[in-house]
Structure 1
Amino acid sequence: MVSEEYIGRINIILRFIDNNLDNQLSLEKIAEKASYSPFHFHRIFKAITGEPLNAYIIRKRIEKTAGILIRQKGARVSELSLQYGFSSNSSFTRAFKKVYGISPSEFRKLSPGKYSKICKVESKNGQENQIFEKYICNINNQITWIKMNAKIEIKEFLETDIAYVTQIGVEGIEQAFDKVLRWGRSKGMLENSNTKIARIFHDSFKITDPDKVRMSICMFLDKEMKAEGEIGMDSIAGGKHIVSRFEITVEEFEKSWSGLFIWMNENGYQKSAHDPFEIYHNNFNDHPEKKCIVDFCIPIK
């Protein structure tokens, strides 16, 4: 079993990597930041994330460029390849195609509201490639869903401190929520009705495999606290946000997020560099229809 100390240090490194994808990220540099030898750090990192460090960094850089390409149609592939550490445009294209099954230029032509990275198929040469598949609901249906089920506002948020647990992939997410709740209960925070539980998405299900999506399951804090083992401390950046209140079942979350991002694009808003998140206002098990009352929040420029 991986110790809480290891998890706490890897939490710091994951944030560091996210913030430095366009800088040089060597094993030696990252291991030094984590206060471990390169050999020891590499073993710990793979045990916690399920990926070797270099593979993780390459994947994150590819996914970062994918997000830019699908949101910014004017982005130049050659500039992105150099910015994110690839020796040439051809090496970047090969790495990109290995993940998505199509070239960066083809990827850029896709509509962000229509497509999602949700399956693997056999290519003609028998090798598995990641591809895009259309959502069942078309754009018009998703906009209609949003109009019928969401109350959307533009709100200004102040920077908010959080205590969090890192969760990679959808499997085991209930345990991550339970860890945060147990920690909050031990601190007496659940006695405060204003205490909120949230989930931050550091990756997008549109461009990252579900078993590799990194999330922070977190609790909002009203005072400064210290990290404890796998409970890390961070903050949600302040600024302008699209905030949409839903009362939905667990099965309707994907549809709601997809529709909200379509609404954002249709209304001329642009997502900022910060991560979207959910704020929960009830325990769905206590709801007569097992529904979640939840705010979906997208930081915008």
Structure 2
Amino acid sequence: MEEHKKRIIKTIRYIDDNLETDLSLEKIAEIGMYSSFHFHRIFKLITGETLQNYIIRKKIEKSAFYLAVKKDIAMKDIYHDLGFSSHSVFSKTFKKHYGIAPSAFRNSAPETFHKILQIQSKNGQVDTVFSQYICHVENLLNWTKMNLKIEVKELPEMNLASVMSLGISHVEPSYNTLIEWAKKRHLFPRENVKMISVYHDSFKVTAADKVRIHACILLDERLEDQKGVVFSETIDAGKYIVGSGEFTLDDFEKCWVSLFLWMNEHHYSMKKAFPFEIYHSNFKDHPEGKMIVDFCIPVY
């Protein structure tokens, strides 16, 4: 836990101390010793903001500080130094954040500044912000210990019947199609049936309405070639980090982030394969909307 606190604080301090530079996801993830593939999810869960939104907000807050207390610096120099391409872009972003144009903000009395922006310490940090983020890390790790059982397992090869979904909103209809197909072949319902979601795209690089998720049912043997929307898919046997527990759909993001943190902390690397979820129960059958799930990351 202490290690994650140090790494998250390190990335936040780096951002706040280098707002005038090019702050790429890859660079900041490297500073925190996280994989850039997973860091955006970890950062958003802990701070409540995407990395890009956090950077823009901190740039606007720093510009407000300069506008209020450094009247000798030209506005153009302020927004250029912070990477805004033009006055119109800067003004629009500033007004969206504070509800007032930067020129009007500068003309207001400096003594009102503290009502909008917290007084910064000598190194430009706001201590209460770090306390808040540390609390989020601790809460996540405590939640993980209480709710998510994490193990490294050797999983067997899994033969699946799959239906592709383009976009998160189409996953349920894809499962409905798959279940209707399975019913006709007496593969559903049956005892201990397992439904699986395989993620073929990352939400980091693909929009939620375009991400490719396969709705799958586990079969006893490989499916022969099918005509239509149902096709054969195989998950290779191998080593996996498996996080297990009973969760609501709202818990899924925390589960994945917790597994990525655990993977980094224990020095595993993700294979060039697809993570997936195995469902052992249906949330629709639970009074609180909970389901028993295994979250699986292929590693070496």
TM-score by length of 2: 0.58
Higher helix share: 2
1:233 matched to 2:232? The reply is yes
Summarize the Cα distance change of 1:188–1:273 in structure 2 as closer, same or farther, 3 Å threshold.
same
Distance 1:175 1:119 in 2: 32
More strand per residue: 1 or 2?
1
Q: Report the equivalent of 1:178.
A: 176
Larger Rg: 2
How many residue pairs are counted as aligned between the two chains? Answer: 197
Q: Is the 8 A contact 1:114 1:138 kept in 2?
A: no
Q: Distance in 1 between matches of 2:163 and 2:181?
A: 10
Deviation sequence 1:226-278 (CA, Å, 0-9, x none): 22311111100110111111211111111111111111211222221111100
SS at match of 2:268: coil
The answer (yes or no) to whether the contact 1:150–1:244 under 8 Å persists in 2 is: yes
| Structure 2: gaps of 5 or more residues | 1-21, 57-82, 91-131
Match of 1:288?
A: 287
Classify 1:286/1:189 alpha carbon distance in 2 versus 1 (closer, same or farther; 3 Å): same
Alignment of 1:14-93 (within 5 A): none
Decide whether the 8 Å contact of 1:145 with 1:259 is kept in 2.
no
Amino acid at match of 1:288: P
Contact 2:150–2:243 under 8 Å retained in 1: yes
Q: Tell me the TM-score normalised to structure 1 length.
A: 0.58
Structure-2 change in CA distance of 1:200 and 1:101 (3 Å): farther
In structure 1, the residue matched to 2:142 is 144
Name the residue aligned to 2:206: 208
Q: Percent identity?
A: 36
2:142 counterpart letter in structure 1: T
Residue 124 (str. 1) matches residue 84 (str. 2): yes
* Residue 224 (structure 1) shift: 2.8
3-state SS of paired residue (1:147):
helix
Alpha-carbon distance in 1 for matches of 2:137, 2:178:
36
Q: Aligned-pair distance for 1:103?
A: 7.0
1:147 and 1:103 map into 2 onto residues whose CA distance is 28
How many angstroms apart in 2 are the aligned matches of 1:192 and 1:200?
A: 21
In structure 1, the gaps of 5 or more residues are: 1-99, 128-134
Checking the alignment, whether the CA contact within 8 Å between 2:195 and 2:279 is kept in structure 1 is yes
Secondary structure, aligned partner of 2:201: coil
Partner of 1:7: none
Give the structure 2 partner of residue 157 of structure 1: 155
The residue that corresponds to 1:219 in the other structure is: 217
Query: How much does 1:104 deviate?
Result: 4.8
The answer on whether the counterparts of 2:168 and 2:213 sit within 8 Å (CA) in structure 1 is: no
AA in 1 matched with 2:228: G
